[in-house]
Amino acid sequence: MPNVQTEPAPLHGPLVVALVYDGLCTFEFGIVAEIFGLSRPEMGSGWYRFASAAIEPGPLRAHGGLQVLADAGAELLESADVIVVPGWRGPESPVPAELKARLVAAHRRGCRLVSICSGAFVLAATGLLDGRRVTTHWRYAEALRQCHRELRVDEAALYHGEDGIFTSAGSAAGIDLMIELVRSDFGAEAANSVARRIVMPAHRSGGQAQFLERPVAVRRETTLGPLLEEVRRDLTRRWTIAQMANAVNMSRRTFERRFVEATGLGPGDWLVTERVEAAKELLTSTATPMEDVAAAVGFRTAHALRHHFRARLRLSPSAYRQEFRRLATTNRSGADRSFVA
């Protein structure tokens, strides 16, 4: 008998529309297309429909030297069930008034609004985020806070969502949020299936605090520079503020003022932060027992290490080590061949 190929049934699930704009963030757009735009016949005909909508006339450029031709114009937003803002041109780039009006109208009729990374600036410009707890990439958090003082910006979270509006942190956190949307719409099994196919955990522990760079100096400080390097070289020493002040021939009061000016932190907070940073290096590069890690970076006990680690990263040292070990193993071995995207 001839092999008869049957066409998959047309999809009739929620319509996910990703915005396309000049200067499009390619990776962030790719996240949305990967989660919602790939063919997934195993999910049935109720799976998501996906389309892109240009919010301005072309030609539209994307990062990487690409030009983009969207499926439709901004009028497509009127029929969307989910609208995703995949990044934005930057905090200083104004959001078109027409786009703001369309997003407000969409939310009023029950459409969910979602942003990835700097896309939070677009949602914030509509006024719909006022008074809400939101997130964005940690590098943009202060700019978002300054531009929109009505927001409660949480730079440590991977994503936040309430009342049909969702924001996510840096690019990869958009994947976490998209998978969470799948979980809320189709359940844990569907979310796990999508996560396996793109070789991602269905849920990541901790927040983006674990990826923050250590604080940088507010201004150049030549007087304290040698002291800071000495402390970093010998974190096991029981440094006190008085000892550090004496080392640079300053009164304690002057030292603490100059220290905050130079680093953005008080001496005690800075020292703990440096010890946590050193612990992160040991946790990800060695199999050193937790008690020895604590001793090597100047914490008196493993309990003290866990306390300060959680306070700064919202993650235990053990969970941090396991997560980064898993990521390293995945990077070395490549994609799970049972689930090829």
pLDDT at position 285 over 70:
yes
CATH number of 15-208: 3.40.50.880
Domain ranges of the chain: 15-208, 213-327
How far apart, in whole angstroms, are the C-alpha atoms of residue 326 and residue 195?
A: 15
Give residue-wise pLDDT tens across range 185-225. 988 788 878 887 776 654 454 455 444 444 444 444 457 88
Mean pLDDT of the chain: 84
Strand partners, 72: 53
pLDDT at position 324 over 90:
no
Give residue-wise pLDDT tens across range 21-76. 999 999 999 999 999 998 898 889 999 999 999 999 988 999 999 999 999 999 99
CATH number of 213-327: 1.10.10.60
Q: Which residue from 293, 291, 299, 221 is spatially nearest to 257, judged by alpha carbons?
A: 221
How far apart, in whole angstroms, are the C-alpha atoms of residue 212 and residue 137?
A: 10
Q: Name the strand (E) or helix (H) holding 256.
A: helix 252-263
pLDDT at position 341 over 50:
no
Could you tell me where the beta strands, DSSP code E, fall in the chain? 15-20, 49-54, 60-62, 66-68, 72-73, 82-86, 112-116, 133-134, 152-153, 159-162, 165-168
The residues near 255 (Cβ < 8 Å, ≥ 6 apart) are 241, 244, 245, 248, 267
Q: Do 15-208 and 213-327 share a fold?
A: no
Q: What is the DSSP string of 125-179?
A: HTTTTTT-EE---TTTHHHHHHH-TTSEE-TT-SEEEETTEEEE-SHHHHHHHHH
Which residue is associated with the tokens 């250590």? 214
CB 296 within 8 A of CB 236: yes
Q: Round to the nearest angstrom and report the end-to-end CA distance of the chain.
A: 32
